[in-house]
């Protein structure tokens, strides 16, 4: 796929379908498994082009993962596509035993992740998937920020010898990366802009929000480093540590519970390394989640351009720059 340079972009689910079709044309081992999620996963074009490579398991996520593990053990490259809320909760035992423990190369694609389902409520939100899979040995966790990172994540999943979890939302996303000639990687973090006052580490669909907050802060003279951290596990600690040492305050934001996600991972790494930086982790708090459209719910919890910028100002006000005079 060519990188979009303007406009709203596509939903990452459309990128998933297009990338899988491109890969499948040259790799006969690729299979797509769904749990009554072919339509919601936008996989209709793949099914039309490769009808004999789609395995429909119905609403049976545990069987879905088990069958995928069996196919992987026979040399196939299975991509499991299912709503993240069900895949990483209902089928967690199968992911732990049949995929992680057994080392089967199952590509787990959690769709409509985070709070993409909006008004459908807590039963359909996936705000604990990072936590569950970060605690499951052997499974890297990737949350793409845009179409470029989504394509890179699917291609990485097809290339690696081992399992991988890719988390995708539903809405169309603008490209957060720069030059169309610049390669995009998801196995490491990318600095999208740099500044010496504040650092924002973001993952998934919160990266665009972080960039918006940085633009608002620049109007006040606050220079911000924004980092897209698609690989939640393993963590790119080299970039994290370097950014933390260069700024006066650091905010980590994610569409996930404040427990067990990227924020806690960054905090633990910084503390272990002994890097002193004023720090905030921004996510969904430990309370029953409110219902509503995705962006409204995120803003309710401070994950929006204006509330994130306000949090940053408060953080920096408590840590003013050192005076150059005695």
> pLDDT tens for residues 285-304?
999 999 999 999 999 999 99
What band does 183 get if pLDDT is binned at 50, 70 and 90? confident
- pLDDT digits 0-9 by tens, 136-167: 999 999 999 999 999 999 999 999 999 999 99
Where exactly does CATH 3.40.50.970 map onto the chain?
A: 12-167
The C-alpha atoms of residue 318 and residue 266 are separated, in whole angstroms, by: 21
- pLDDT digits 0-9 by tens, 213-261: 999 999 999 999 999 999 999 999 999 999 999 999 999 999 999 999 9
3-state secondary structure the chain: CCCCCCCCCCEHHHHHHHHHHHHHCCCCCEEEEECCCCCCCCCHHHHHHCHHHEEECCCCHHHHHHHHHHHHHCCCEEEEEEEHHHHCCCCHHHHHHHHHHCCCCCEEEEECCECCCHHHCHHHCECCHHHHHHCCCCCCEECCCCHHHHHHHHHHHHHCCCCEEEECCCCECCCCCCCCCCCCCCCCCEEEECCCCEEEEECCCHHHHHHHHHHHHHCCCCCEEEEECCEEECCCHHHHHHHHHHCCEEEEEEEEECCCCHHHHHHHHHHHHCCCCEEEEEEECCCCCCCCCHHHHHHHCCCCHHHHHHHHHHHHHCCCCCCCCC
**Token digits of residue 116:** 């993409």
Whether 278 has a pLDDT exceeding 90, the answer reads yes
Residue 179: per-residue pLDDT: 63
Is 12-167 a domain of CATH 3.40.50.970?
A: yes
- Give the rounded percent of residues in the chain with a pLDDT score beyond 70: 94
Whether 265 has a pLDDT exceeding 80, the answer reads yes
What band does 41 get if pLDDT is binned at 50, 70 and 90? confident
Where exactly does CATH 3.40.50.920 map onto the chain?
A: 190-316
- The model carries a pTM of 0.93
For β-strands 164-167 and 278-284, DSSP reports them as: unpaired
Residue 326: per-residue pLDDT: 32
Q: For residues 195-223, give the mean pLDDT.
A: 97
Whether 95 has a pLDDT exceeding 90, the answer reads yes
Q: Which residues pair with 255 in a beta bridge?
A: none
Mean pLDDT across the chain, nearest whole number? Answer: 93
Domain with residues 190-316, CATH architecture: 3-Layer(aba) Sandwich (3.40)
Residue 3: per-residue pLDDT: 46
């Amino acid at each position: 796929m060519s990188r979009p340079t303007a406009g709203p972009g596509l939903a990452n689910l459309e990128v998933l379908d297009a990338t899988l079709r491109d890969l499948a044309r040259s790799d006969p081992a690729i299979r797509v498994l769904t749990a009554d999620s072919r339509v919601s996963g936008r996989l209709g074009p793949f099914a039309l082009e490769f009808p004999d490579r789609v395995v429909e398991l119905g609403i049976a996520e545990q069987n879905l993962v088990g069958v995928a593990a069996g196919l992987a053990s026979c040399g196939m490259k299975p991509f499991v596509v299912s709503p993240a809320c069900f895949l990483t909760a209902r089928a967690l035992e199968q992911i732990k035993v049949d995929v992680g423990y057994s080392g089967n190369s199952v590509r787990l694609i959690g769709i409509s992740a985070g709070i993409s389902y909006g008004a459908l409520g807590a039963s359909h939100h996936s705000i604990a998937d990072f936590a569950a899979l970060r605690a499951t040995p052997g499974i890297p966790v990737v949350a793409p920020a845009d179409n470029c990172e989504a394509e890179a994540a699917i291609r990485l999943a097809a290339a690696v010898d081992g399992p991988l979890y890719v988390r995708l939302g539903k809405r169309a996303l603008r490209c957060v990366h720069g030059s169309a000639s610049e390669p995009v990687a998801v196995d490491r973090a990318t600095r999208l802009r740099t500044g010496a006052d504040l650092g924002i580490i973001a993952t998934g669909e919160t990266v665009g929000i972080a960039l918006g907050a940085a633009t608002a802060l620049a109007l006040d003279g606050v220079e911000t480093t924004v980092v897209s951290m698609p690989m939640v596990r393993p963590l790119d600690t080299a970039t994290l540590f370097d950014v933390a040492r260069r700024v006066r305050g650091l905010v980590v934001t994610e569409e996930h519970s404040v427990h067990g996600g990227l924020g806690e991972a960054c905090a633990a790494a910084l503390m272990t390394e002994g890097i002193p930086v004023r720090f905030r982790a921004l996510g969904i708090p430990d309370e029953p989640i409110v219902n509503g459209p995705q962006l409204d719910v995120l803003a309710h919890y401070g994950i929006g351009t204006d509330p994130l910028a306000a949090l940053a100002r408060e953080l920096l006000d408590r840590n003013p720059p050192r005076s150059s005079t005695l």
